[in-house]
Amino acid sequence: MKQIIKIIKGSFVGMGSILPGISGSMIAAILKIYQELITALNDFTKHPLKALKSVWEYIVGVIIGLGLGFLFIKIFLDALPIPFTLLFIGFILGAIPGIIKELKSERYRFSHFLVMILMMLMMIGFLFIQEGSSSTNSWIYYVVIFFIGVIFAAALITPGLSGATMLLALGFFQILIDLGDDIIRAFLTLNFTEIAPYIPMLLLLILGAVVGLIGMGKIMYQLLIHFKSHFYFGVLGIVIISPFNILFTLQQNTDENVFNTDWYIWLLGALFFVLGLFLTHIITVKGQKVEEVI
Domain boundaries, the chain: 2-293
Q: What is the pLDDT of residue 268?
A: 92
Q: What CA–CA distance (Å, rounded) separates 61 from 124?
A: 30
Which of 80, 52, 64, 51 shows the shortest CA–CA distance to 14? Answer: 64
Q: What is the pLDDT of residue 192?
A: 65
Query: Is the CB of residue 187 less than 8 Å from the CB of residue 196?
Result: no
Distance of CA 225 to the CA centre of its chain: 22
The identity of residue 45, as a single letter, is T
Neighbours of 294 (CB within 10 A): 9
**SS3 state of residue 46:** coil
pTM of structure: 0.61
Q: What is the pLDDT of residue 16?
A: 76
Q: pLDDT digit of tens for each residue in the chain (294 aa)?
A: 788 888 988 888 888 777 655 677 777 877 878 888 888 888 887 888 888 888 889 989 988 888 787 777 767 766 777 887 788 788 778 777 777 776 766 678 888 899 999 988 887 876 665 544 444 455 666 777 787 778 777 767 776 566 665 565 555 666 677 777 777 777 777 766 766 776 777 788 788 888 887 877 777 778 777 887 888 888 788 878 878 877 776 766 556 676 677 888 889 989 999 988 887 776 665 545 444 433
Backbone angles phi, psi at 54, to 5 degrees: -75, -20
Which of 39, 26, 36, 73 shows the shortest CA–CA distance to 58? Answer: 36
The identity of residue 150, as a single letter, is V
Q: What is the pLDDT of residue 259?
A: 67
Q: What is the pLDDT of residue 271?
A: 94
Which of 11, 6, 3 shows the shortest CA–CA distance to 63? Answer: 11
Q: What CA–CA distance (Å, rounded) separates 178 from 51?
A: 31
Q: What is the pLDDT of residue 51?
A: 86
Q: What is the pLDDT of residue 246?
A: 74
